[in-house]
Amino acid sequence: MTTRRTALRQLAVGLLAARSSRAAEASVNIRIDEPIGPIAPALYGHFTEHIGGVIYGGVWVGENSSIPNEHGLRKRLLDSLRLLRPPVIRWPGGCFADSYDWRDGVGPRAKRPRRLNFWQTDPQLAKAPDGPQKYEPNEFGTAEFMRFVRAVGAEPYFAANVRSLTPRDFHEWIDYCNTPAGKTTLADQRAASGDVEPYRVRYWGVGNESWGCGGDLTPDEYAMEFRRFTSYIPKFDAPLNLIAAGPNGGDLNWTRRFFANLAEKSPGLLNRVWGWALHYYCGTAGKGQALDFDVADWYALLGKASRMEDLIVQHWAAMGEIDARHRVKLVVDEWGAWHRAGSEVDPAYLFGQTPTLRDALISALTLDIFQRHADKVAMANVAQLVNNLHALFLAREDKFTETPNYHVFRMYMPHAGATSVRADFSAPQAAGMWRLAGSASIRGRQLTLTAVNSHATEECAAAIAIPGYKVASASSTTLASTDLRAHNSFEAPRRLEPRTAPAELASGVYRFPPASVTRLDITLA
Q: Which helix H or strand E contains 191, and what residues bound it?
A: helix 185-192
- Which residues are within 8 A (CB) of 9 and not within 5 positions of it... i.e. 6 or more apart? none
CATH number at residue 441: 2.60.40.1180
**Residue 22 reports pLDDT greater than 70:** no
- pLDDT at site 127: 82
Please give the single-letter amino acid code of residue 221: E
How sure is the predictor about 21, in pLDDT bands with cuts at 50, 70 and 90? very low
pTM: 0.94
Strand locations in 268-373 (E) = 275-283, 329-337
308-320 and 252-265 helices, crossing angle to 10°: 20
| Last residue within a domain, chosen from 382, 415, 448 | 415
- Same-domain pairing of 295 and 410: yes
- Same-domain pairing of 499 and 406: no
- pLDDT at site 506: 81
| Last residue within a domain, chosen from 415, 450, 473 | 415
CB 347 within 8 A of CB 127: yes
- pLDDT at site 7: 44
Q: What is the mean pLDDT of the chain?
A: 94
| Last residue within a domain, chosen from 415, 446, 476 | 415
How many residues are given for the chain? 525
- pLDDT at site 429: 86
Cis upstream peptide for 62 (omega within 30°): no
- What is the distance of C-alpha 32 from the center of its chain? 26
- Same-domain pairing of 59 and 73: yes
- Same-domain pairing of 138 and 277: yes
pLDDT digits (tens, 9 = 90+) for 310-360: 999 999 999 999 999 999 999 999 999 999 999 999 999 999 999 999 999
Query: Based on the number of CB atoms within 10 Å of its own CB, is 64 exposed (0-12), middle (13-18) or buried (19 or more)?
Result: exposed
- Which residues are within 8 A (CB) of 130 and not within 5 positions of it... i.e. 6 or more apart? none
d(CA 28, CA 429): 15
Q: What are phi and psi of 399, to 5 degrees?
A: -90, 145
**Residue 211 reports pLDDT greater than 50:** yes
- Looking at residues 70-88, what average pLDDT do you find? 98
CATH number at residue 55: 3.20.20.80
Domain count, the chain: 2
Q: What are phi and psi of 208, to 5 degrees?
A: -145, 130
Please give the single-letter amino acid code of residue 507: S
**Residue 10 reports pLDDT greater than 60:** no
d(CA 501, CA 522): 12
Show the domain range for 375: 40-158+242-250+268-415
d(CA 187, CA 103): 13
More confident residue, 17 or 256: 256
- pLDDT at site 58: 98
**Residue 51 located in a structural domain:** yes
Q: Work out the end-to-end distance of the chain between its first and last CA atoms, rounded to an integer number of angstroms.
A: 30
CB 229 within 8 A of CB 184: no
- Same-domain pairing of 399 and 433: no
What percent of the chain shows pLDDT beyond 90?
A: 90
pLDDT digits (tens, 9 = 90+) for 378-393: 999 999 999 999 999 9
- Same-domain pairing of 377 and 336: yes
pLDDT digits (tens, 9 = 90+) for 215-269: 999 999 999 999 999 999 988 888 999 999 999 999 999 999 999 999 999 999 9
- pLDDT at site 1: 45
- Same-domain pairing of 425 and 518: yes
**Residue 452 reports pLDDT greater than 70:** yes
Instruction: Provide the pairing of β-strand 377-382 with 329-337.
Output: parallel
- Same-domain pairing of 292 and 150: yes
d(CA 187, CA 313): 43
- pLDDT at site 433: 81
**Residue 20 reports pLDDT greater than 70:** no
Q: Of 339, 250, 351, nearest to 297 (Cα)?
A: 339
- Looking at residues 69-90, what average pLDDT do you find? 98
- Same-domain pairing of 328 and 468: no
- Looking at residues 158-164, what average pLDDT do you find? 98
- pLDDT at site 2: 43
- Same-domain pairing of 33 and 46: no
Query: Based on the number of CB atoms within 10 Å of its own CB, is 425 exposed (0-12), middle (13-18) or buried (19 or more)?
Result: buried
Catalytic residue ranges:
209, 334
- For 202-336, where are the alpha helices, taking DSSP H only? 219-230, 252-265, 295-305, 308-320
Torsion of CA 175, 61, 125, 282, to 10 degrees: 70
- pLDDT at site 251: 98
d(CA 254, CA 318): 10
- pLDDT at site 6: 44
What percent of the chain shows pLDDT beyond 70?
A: 96
- Same-domain pairing of 79 and 105: yes
**Residue 511 reports pLDDT greater than 90:** yes
DSSP for 199-241 reads ----EEEE-S-TTTTTT---HHHHHHHHHHHHTTPPP-SS--E
- Same-domain pairing of 352 and 450: no
* Phi-psi group of 232: left, alpha or beta (phi > 0 → left; psi -120 to 50 → alpha; rest → beta): left
**Residue 9 located in a structural domain:** no
